[in-house]
Amino acid sequence: MSYSFPELGLLSLGLTICMITGGIDLSIIGTANLTSILAAKVMVTLIPANPAPAVLALYILLAVAVAYIVGISAGFINGYLVSTFNIHPVLVTLGTWQLFSGIAIIITRGYSVPGLPKPFLFVGNGRLLGFPIPLYVFLVFAVAVAVMLRKTQFGRSIYLIGTNAIAARFAGIRVRRMLIYAYTSSAVLASTAGLLMMSRTNQAKADYGETYILQAVLVNLLAGVNWSGGFGRVIGVAIAVMTLQFLSSGFNMLRFNNFARDFTWGVFLILIMIFNHLMNERKNRLEADIAGSRSVG
């Protein structure tokens, strides 16, 4: 489980940042697959036969740099469209998801890109001090996101934007810039997840991990991230990711097929949304009753 759940964890963290602003990024899978395909193309096409270790490392770093540059560009496009044209984030990121996936299919013609160098595959399959390397990657990014959200001006700004965007503007926060930063951060995390996916599987593919988007949304709702924005914690997302991974492993042991598993995730998602709605209504009624009793007193 420690080899596979970091991918979902990174995608979920990217979604968390956007949901805190009151938006959502449905293009994380498209971004992850496109960046991984371009990185794989760089390694497969440019690396010569029997390269020196230093040359091989240089090409791998170049491929990773290409992945992050493309990912940052994808996140900037999402953030720019959402913040500048005030288009709903669901529509923007659904459209860019199809755009990025279409570009990936054109590049690969629907085929996978295999044959990655062994040093790169070690990142997705190797161990360090007895623990899988993907687990370390997830922990590093989880801590970085937690610090960014709780200890930086950017984090405080996006919480305020998610709570009340108008108040954020009057408070002097550059809402447009912060939204671009938020969607760019989400794309960076998606690119990292894409690199881990292709490192673990030794291939990059345009339609890999399509079920992750539903699971990432489910993880955030399980973690208590507010769909309307303004609230969300990294520790909750990490716990929800592991809980979902335990359930998925249990389904594998019980030999659930993929259709039954997707059905289960969908049912969980609907039930959690209904539960959150009922809890919000109950909270609003309690606050209204308290305010009424104070006015009477």
Q: For 144-158, how does the pLDDT look when each residue is reduced to its tens digit (9 = 90+)?
A: 999 999 999 999 999
Which helix (H) or strand (E) segment holds residue 240: the answer is helix 234-253
pLDDT at 110: 84
Alpha-carbon span 89 to 75, nearest angstrom: 12
Q: For 42-75, how does the pLDDT look when each residue is reduced to its tens digit (9 = 90+)?
A: 999 988 888 888 999 999 999 999 999 999 999 9
Alpha-carbon span 145 to 238, nearest angstrom: 12
Q: Is 129 helix (H, G, I), strand (E, B) or coil?
A: coil
**Which residue shows structure tokens 């909270």?**
283
At residue 296 the predicted structure's pLDDT band, cuts being 50, 70 and 90, is low
At residue 122 the predicted structure's pLDDT band, cuts being 50, 70 and 90, is very high
**Which residue shows structure tokens 């395909």?**
37
- What are the sequence ranges of the domains in the chain? 5-209
Contact 220, 16 (CB under 8 A): yes
Of 105 and 244, more confident: 105
Kindly state the tokens that stand for 275.
């539960």
